[in-house]
Amino acid sequence: MLHRLRFLPGRLVQSIPVVFGVTLIVFFMARLLPGNPALALLGQHATPASVAALSKQLGLNTPIWEQYLLFVGRLFQGNLGTSLTYQLPVTQLVAQAIPVTLSLLGMALLLSLIISIPLAAVAAFKPASGRDLGVRAFTLLGQGMPQFWLGIMLILLLAVGLRAFPVGGYGTTAADHPYYLFLPALTLAITMCPTIIRSLRASIINVLGSEYIGTAKSKGSYGAALFRGHVLRNAAIPTVSIIGVNLGFLVGGSLVIEKVFALPGLGSLMINAIFARDFPTIQGVTLFVALFVVLVGILTDVVYTMLDPRVNLGAKEQS
């Protein structure tokens, strides 16, 4: 088992240039935004003189490559700079927001698995049956509804209408958080489910048709034991990579959803920072999102390797 994870150190090293490249792009993209942070900070009372003074104070009047070098230099010291709007270190802001976003994503992933696995199984055990069509209708619906709209509908229905869940926010105690996160996580889960269900359904059908299922039946296995013991793990293998890719997209989706549900996560931080032209914060958040996507990619490969003993990524890379 462990020898097949030998690809890990190499993969981690490879990801450094990727993350570095992202910082480069984001740094310059942020500066392509129309508007000036000094102007945004000073607001209505800005005079050309005060804007120039503040720009100088923020280091915005130096050539752009000098600003980049300064940014990268600080980065190596673990310093992402100071937020222009909050006047706090970006690392501190990001550190506060990361647990929110990560728990949101984790809960969304968990919910989508809880929804997807039974539905995919129900559909796959009897392809083209009524329940298969029902599941297909659900996946189409899930794919067709825009995330933000679905979020708003859930708020109206479950939070405003039934008062079963809070309208927004993150709660104050650790016990509150799952309760507050449920609706936004459900929103993300419902939009992620269709892809998982479709992939899982197809691979379950595939697995059910294979010879080793006949062998398992000839050993007396049937029903739930057969599904758990011989179907799910085999069928999960192709789906794992799909979940990996989708988790990357989900980060993008969480930006909007955090705004809809007023969650103080990376998404809200990012959107506020963009409106305020808060360059250091934009850069910091993007850096972490990029890091997250890269890590999810690596994690996907690890899970894949653990599930399928035939996979040996290390061997492939050497050849």
Partner 1 sequence: MTQPLLSVKSLTIGVRRPKGVDTIIVDDLSFEIQRGERFGIVGESGSGKSLTLRAIADLLPAGVEILTGSIRYDGVELVGMPTPARRRLMGPEIAMIFQEPMTALNPVIRVGEQIAEGPRRYLGLSKRDAMKLAIEMMAKTGIPDPVRRARAYPHELSGGLRQRIMIAMALSCGPKLLLCDEPTTALDVTVQHQVLRVLEQLCADSGASLAFVTHDLAVVNQTCSDLAVMYAGHIVESGRVKDVFRDPRHPYTKGLLDSAPDFDQPERELVPIPGFPPNLAARPSGCPFAPRCAFAVEACTVAMPPTVVVAPGHAAACIESQSIFEGVAA
Q: Tell whether residue 216 is a contact of partner 1 (CB under 8 A).
A: yes
CA distances from 250 to 167, 178, 195 (A): 21, 18, 12
Work out whether 218 is an interface residue with partner 1 (CB under 8 A).
yes
**Binding pattern to partner 1, positions 222-261, x when CB under 8 A?**
xx-----xx--xx--x------------------------
Residues 210, 228, 295, 299: which binds partner 1 (CB under 8 A)? 210
How distant, in Å, are the alpha carbons of 23, 54, 56, 132, 250 from that of 59? 18, 8, 5, 61, 35
Q: Which stretch binds partner 1 (CB under 8 A): 28-36, 104-112, 205-213, 295-303?
A: 205-213
Tell me the per-residue interface mask from 69 to 108 with partner 1, x by CB under 8 A, - otherwise. Answer: ----------------------------------------
Which residues lie across from 89 on neighbouring strands?
Answer: 82
Check binding of 199 to partner 1 (CB under 8 A).
Answer: no
Applying CB under 8 A, the span of 59-67, 153-161, 216-224, 285-293 interacting with partner 1 comes to 216-224
Sole window of 23-31, 62-70, 88-96, 207-215 interacting with partner 1 (rule: CB under 8 A):
207-215
Nearer to partner 1, 127 or 252 (CB): 127
Total binding residues toward partner 1, as defined by CB under 8 A: 23
Choose the stretch contacting partner 1; rule: CB under 8 A; options: 50-58, 67-75, 155-163, 303-311. 303-311
Provide the mask over 5-44, with x wherever binding to partner 1 is found by CB under 8 A and - wherever it is not.
Answer: ----------------------------------------
Phi-psi domain of 184 (left: phi exceeds 0; alpha: psi -120 through 50; beta: other): alpha
* Residue 39 C-beta: closest distance to partner 1, Å: 59
Shortest Å, Cβ 229 to partner 1: 7
Instruction: Write down the least CB distance from residue 234 to partner 1, Å.
Output: 6
Binding flag, residue 202, partner 1 (CB under 8 A): no
Among 131, 215, 252, 295, binds partner 1 (CB under 8 A): 215
Tell me whether residue 175 or residue 224 sits nearer to partner 1 (CB atom).
Answer: 224
3-state secondary structure the chain: CHHHHCHHHHHHHHHHHHHHHHHHHHHHHHHHCCCCHHHHHHHHHCCHHHHHHHHHHHCCCCCHHHHHHHHHHHHHCCCCCECCCCCCEHHHHHHHHHHHHHHHHHHHHHHHHHHHHHHHHHHHHCCCCHHHHHHHHHHHHHHHCCHHHHHHHHHHHHHHHCCCCCCCCCCCCCCHHHHHHHHHHHHHHHHHHHHHHHHHHHHHHHHHCCHHHHHHHHCCCCHHHHHHHHHHHHHHHHHHHHHHHHHHHHHHHHHHHHHHCCCCCHHHHHHHHHHCCCHHHHHHHHHHHHHHHHHHHHHHHHHHHHHCCCCCHHHHHHC
**Least distance in angstroms from the C-beta of 205 to partner 1:** 10
Angle between helices 176-208 and 232-260 (to 10 degrees): 150
Select the span of 4-12, 50-58, 177-185, 203-211 touching partner 1 (CB under 8 A).
Answer: 203-211
**Residue from the set 20, 28, 179, 212 that interacts with partner 1 by CB under 8 A:** 212
Binding residues (CB under 8 A) for partner 1: these are: 209-212, 214-223, 229-230, 233-234, 237, 307-310
